Structure 1
């Protein structure tokens, strides 16, 4: 799995050759005790069949393998190697450490991505350009896009159905609770008392506030402000039934007659404050 020795300029030291594949080391690893070096791919595959060093048969595992010393890396990086694309006409000879960079930029690389010259805007491997069909590829893109849209639409439909079912169950539960409270006055009184206790406990946790602008404090918020207020109430520990009632009566059309206009609120502010 290493680099073919014949691709290198000059002689290659045998210490830089993998004992398993007899090629120049690629991504080398050392055995833990004997420190024999192997290509990572070679030694991992070897250990998968036989957990011993191929040279001296000492027992090793893949977890015990370690990187080679810097000096060995430097010796490998100084080697000069011919480009992988020499069979396609590339005559470049580069240092081993810059080979990956060269391959990405090599004009002779058959897999180098190039833009379609026919105008479809796609990028395809160079060796596939002759077989490239703009209409076919665009149709494939449209089909894939439609599949994604259909999948998303189905997910949204499933989500809406789930929400509808949840709302139906909640409504049914409310009706059951209402019926139980109507049929059993004691249970209704107990529920009311528990809700009142929840409100008192919540109120005692809140800091006192000074009302300086009565009309502004209770003026109708828009949808964004209502959402912010609802979130703040929940974060403060407000009982859920109080949050629901406050949000249901947030708009002034649900307020008592004496509060429906700013003028009446200002005229009666002392009455309401007391």
Structure 2
């Protein structure tokens, strides 16, 4: 059993490298009113970019190799925006930021940057049947049938998903992160689960003895669907509670 208690910072995929990110001087000069990237860098199977606000923009769409990122991966901070792309295999990837003006993409004001992504060092992993741990493939891409949940301080109790809860494939809509983990405990849902945590998260309404609990039904019936609990960006914190893992295989926390 693994225990992670109290004020823990989730291991985030593009975090500590921010200090070494590509500075503005290394990025192409853009016309006034265009997106100005201030940082862009690849890391272990992920990449991020940061940019200054564009006057009049109501929002931004961000793409990695032409594939649009989920909106939850784009966040606003004091004076800048940041987007994190996760589930990238090692190699070169292009990040593109497009501002939205009057509800429409303004492609002429977009900016893009190519970054290099590396592979995670998985030496020492306790692989089960030779497969990758968690909700990701060996090459770092998300498994095709994975369930992705975004957990923030605002959504920790309202996040919901349909969980397979019987042997005939019947589904139950479950709300709240701990309730979802408890529903997975039955082991009837074999889909990988990727829990993407964002920002400073205080105690959810439902905890198990003060912690989030990821657990299988028993030592002889482990939870083995493949679960990843990951922090997005550089500021994810479990503030006041921990994460406990018991009777599971194929789990990664990063």
TM-score (norm 2): 0.18
Please state which structure has a larger fraction of its residues in strand: 2
Please state which structure has a larger fraction of its residues in helix: 1
Q: Who wins on radius of gyration, i.e. which is larger?
A: 1
